Chain A
Amino acid sequence: MAFSVVMTLDASAQTTRNEMRKDIYRTGSNYFAYPEPRQQNLTPSPKGYKPFYIFHYARHGSRYMSNNSYYETAINMLDSAKNVGLLSEKGNEVLGKLRIGYADAWHRDGDLTALGGRQHREIAQRMMKRFNTLLSQPLYVDAKSSTSRRCMLSMFNFCTELQSLNPSLDIQMDASKRDMKFVVEDLSRKPKPTPQSDALWKLAGEWFERAHDPRRLMASLLTDTSRVSLSFSGRILMEALYNVAQDLQNVPELNISLIEIFTPDELFNMWQGYNMSWLIDTGLVPGSAPYYHIIDEVVDSIVANADRVIKEGKSKLTLRFSHNSSVLPLAYFLGLKEAMGATENLSSLYKHISIDKIIPMAANIQIVFYRKNNSDDILVKFLLNENETSIPALKSDITPYYHWEDVKSHIQKVRMNL
């Protein structure tokens, strides 16, 4: 960060259309490449309290699209239009860029990109700097990742960086099916849809289709939109191009961009469609099925691990590397303000929760534990993407710090649907 402007940390402020327009890649929602933290200086801990344990739960860093079919669809359609002389100059330019992007992405579906590796190394560096008294000790580091390669490589980058900053760390990395229950979400748990959730999905589906109105875009890519063949679908092409254009922010070394083929309003509308789908899917919208319970066992393990470290009186660092579909429900489970306050009114939902603020690439939640000599009152604070955050449902006289016992009862309430 080049500037040291004092920023207000009022992240509860509602997301606005203007804010999205200023940082257009935010409209990529979960494709959004990790933004550096806004917060420069962390709030000092109450007198006598020192950090002794950090639990870090992260999403993998920037990645290639998990499936190259978007490239294939877009290239096929534009190429066949080209063969019959229907491609505009703009369309030709887009096809050329798609070919470069696809050649680079070939056989790399879902792989971590170079930027993805960098993101995790930088987060590790900042963690070391911010919690130096804790992390410069010869700590035991328990690192586990999802068995997905991009998560494993995220862990490797994070841990290698930590190790180079403190060679005395005893780091143990693993990625085993044996541990998946408490490392990642349990996708086999599917809550039953309710009449209310069905209604929400119907509305979101309609929104999504309306947002993918391809007429303007097609007119810019083709010389004559009336002559394209039946197999050519502007609607499908638009969705494919959105995904490619957004993912290109994760491969900056290619130096190609497609985001400008869309208008800011188109991007804003499509993003809203993705945003509401994610929130309904995870169960954050009132009435939607409580899908966030897919991380019940992750949450249980967080509490159990922390309690064990507290009981043993030791210091430790726990690292977990997973997916957006785990980080988002975890933010909700913990009651972090960025994940709270969703409304049933889908068209204004984005104002309350905007997932680019929660699950960009390399998204992470850090729970930092503090203790004081001769006191059993353990304090914790929460950082979402390395900015301190709060739990609106919990009162604290020392925010952003909370009493661990209070946090535990809050977690238990969510766990039990109370």
Chain B
Amino acid sequence: MRHRIISLAFLTVGWSLIIWAQTSRTELLSHLELASGNYCNYPNPTGNVTLPPDGYEPFYITHYGRHGARYMTDDDAYKYLVTKLDSAKDIGLLTTLGEDALRRLKTAQANACLRDGDLTLLGARQHRAIAHRMCVNYPSLMTQHLTVKANSSTVRRCMLSMANFCMELKSMNPQLIVNMNSSEHDMYYLTPNDSIEIPNSEKDGELYDRLSEFRHKMLNGRHQMTLIFNDTVKAREFIDPTTLADHLWNVTSDMQCLPELGLTFNDLFTEDELIDGFRTYNASWCLWEGLMPGAQPSYYAIFPLLKNFLDEAIEMVDSGKSGVRLRFGHDSVLLPFTYILGLREAIHATDDMENLHHSFAIYRLIPMAGNVQWVFYRKPGNDDVLVKLLLNENETSIPITTDIYPFYHWKNVANYYRTMLRNANITYKKNLNENK
């Protein structure tokens, strides 16, 4: 293996975090960056890699990763905020803080111009760091002459995430044969498959009504109005406080992805208001993806990904070969995927939106560059293959029993998911255009 000249800085991209604990206000207050939810910087894993039982060696890693830190996917927030604040300025409605916020918004907007949804520099570093740790944590596998099969969503930030990941792997082991691809051909399992019929849920409508109410309560914008405008009554004539707060919260959170700008909008929120924004999006994601009890199970659209993991793992195990399989996509896939896998961090949602964040928090699940890995182990002369599941590189559990946690017997795991797929009784829409 070639001499490694890789900066250790890669290993210190994020911060450390206690892994499985109920979310508390105290935890969020001491790590306020977590309140950015799915904008959250990738947390450094604990670094704890449990040794496998005697004689077992890793031979296959199969991975689904969300793209790294990115710009906001559209410029609606900047357009709304800059236009409205600019108009307010013209008629003398801005406070000193409001004027300063407008200046900062314009700086951020200029930087984001024509970069909607693009991967940021931090996003590239996150993926290089994850790849780097894969090589460091599984050296007996990753120093071999392996083939790495990588597919990404056709969205550019996912493609660039894949490229950065693979480039790092290649620099750690030049012998790797890396096949990268990004094609419509593979989208049926990389993104939500919209030809799958999603079963109805009677309670869904009521949940959405409650969510709307919750959102308006949490991100009501009353405080922001008083901070930014010197006459809130006048400002209300053309500014909707909830829309204002929602856009501001998103801009504030996206600054996590652009540390090089040195910009913050945190001063437009109290700590509790930032946390309220997180709670809003936490509940929204939970409902959108069907993870909330009673919600329509939109995660059905992710079953092709589970099938892909399963089929390819079975093939790899049977072949006796070794390899690495990488996929790069989106939070809208990763979140429901963690749920159907039954990862403990994903399955404790309630429909009590006020308290949901105590048992379910999206920053544990879908930070930027969030990922799920299955690591397979085998022992010569023994057909009992073992597997462990990692969420954001931390060992986690699934709802089946095992005598060797965090390892599971592959035949049990395969059987569990195969049964799940069978019971899901997936059907396809008759008219594929009906939901478009």
Contacts and interface: CB of A to CB of B under 8 A. Distances in A.
A311 interface: no
Contact of B182 (A138, A153, A168, A177): A153
Contact of B171 (A106, A147, A149, A163): A163
Contacts of A177: 114-116
Interface in B140-175: 154, 156, 159-160, 162-164, 166-168, 170-172, 174
B156 A111 contact: no
Contact of A117 (B162, B164, B179): B179
B179 A152 contact: no
Contacts of B159: 149, 152-153, 156, 175
Given A138-B5, A147-B156, A153-B180, 11 more contacts: A107-B183, A107-B184, A107-B187, A157-B180, A163-B168, A164-B2, A164-B174, A167-B6, A177-B115, A178-B113, A178-B114
Interface in A158-210: 159-161, 163-165, 167-168, 171-178
B4 interface: yes
Given A107-B185, A165-B174, A175-B156, A156 B115 contact: no
B322 interface: no
A220 to B, nearest CB: 33
B178 interface: yes
B41 to A, nearest CB: 19
A152 B183 contact: no
A59 to B, nearest CB: 18
Interface residues of B, number: 37
Nearest to B170: A164
A36 interface: no
Contacts of A114: 179
B276 interface: no
A405 to B, nearest CB: 34
A161 B114 CA distance: 29
B345 interface: no
Contacts of A159: 163, 167
Interface in A23-82: none
Contacts of B166: 156, 160
Interface in B289-324: none
A168 B163 contact: no
Given A147-B156, A153-B181, A175-B160, A167 B171 contact: yes
20 contacts: A108-B183, A109-B184, A111-B184, A149-B182, A153-B182, A155-B163, A156-B167, A160-B166, A163-B170, A164-B2, A167-B2, A167-B4, A167-B6, A167-B171, A172-B121, A173-B124, A173-B167, A174-B160, A175-B156, A176-B114
A160 B154 contact: no
Nearest to A106: B185
Nearest to B112: A178
Top 8 nearest A-B pairs (CB, nearest first) are A164-B174, A167-B171, A178-B114, A164-B170, A156-B163, A107-B184, A107-B185, A168-B5
A117 B149 CA distance: 13
A161 B175 CA distance: 11
B331 interface: no
B182 A178 contact: no
B254 interface: no
Nearest to A180: B114
B118 A176 contact: yes
B174 A108 contact: no
Nearest to A104: B185
Contacts of B164: 173
Contacts of B172: 167
Interface string B106-142: 0000000111101101001000000000000000000
A168 B2 CA distance: 11
A316 B124 CA distance: 20
Interface string A124-159: 000000000000001000000001010011011101
Contacts of A117: 179-180
Contacts of B174: 164-165
A156 B3 CA distance: 22
Interface of B: 2-6, 113-116, 118-119, 121, 124, 154, 156, 159-160, 162-164, 166-168, 170-172, 174, 176, 178-185, 187
B193 to A, nearest CB: 13
Nearest to A161: B170
Contacts of A165: 174
Interface of A: 106-109, 111-112, 114, 117, 138, 147, 149, 152-153, 155-157, 159-161, 163-165, 167-168, 171-178
A164 B182 contact: no
B124 to A, nearest CB: 8
A147 B113 CA distance: 16
A150 B154 CA distance: 11
A246 B105 CA distance: 52
Given A156-B159, A165-B174, A178 B115 contact: yes
B151 to A, nearest CB: 11
B145 to A, nearest CB: 13
B171 A164 contact: yes
A257 B2 CA distance: 41
Contacts of B170: 160-161, 163-164
A188 to B, nearest CB: 15
A291 B118 CA distance: 31
A196 B181 CA distance: 45
Q: Which one of B114, B162, B163, B164 has the highest number of Cβ atoms from chain A below 10 Å of its Cβ?
A: B163
Contacts of B118: 174, 176, 178
Contacts of B168: 163
A112 B176 CA distance: 20
Nearest to A157: B180
Nearest to A149: B182
A108 B182 CA distance: 9
A178 B180 CA distance: 24
A112 B182 CA distance: 9
A152 B160 contact: yes
Contacts of B115: 176-178
A176 B120 CA distance: 11
Contacts of A152: 156, 159-160, 163, 182
A163 B167 contact: yes
A178 B71 CA distance: 12
A106 B183 CA distance: 10
Which of A149, A160, A172 has the largest count of B CB atoms less than 10 A from its CB?
A: A160
Contacts of A164: 2, 170-171, 174, 176
A160 B185 contact: no
A110 to B, nearest CB: 9
Nearest to B164: A173
A31 B179 CA distance: 23
A337 to B, nearest CB: 35
A138 B5 CA distance: 10
Contacts of A172: 121, 124
Contacts of A111: 181, 183-185
Contacts of B178: 160
A114 B178 CA distance: 11
Contacts of A173: 124, 160, 163-164, 167
Nearest to A148: B156
Given A107-B184, A111-B183, A160 B156 contact: no
B83 to A, nearest CB: 21
A167 B5 contact: yes
B258 to A, nearest CB: 14
Contacts of A161: 170
B88 to A, nearest CB: 29
A219 B172 CA distance: 58
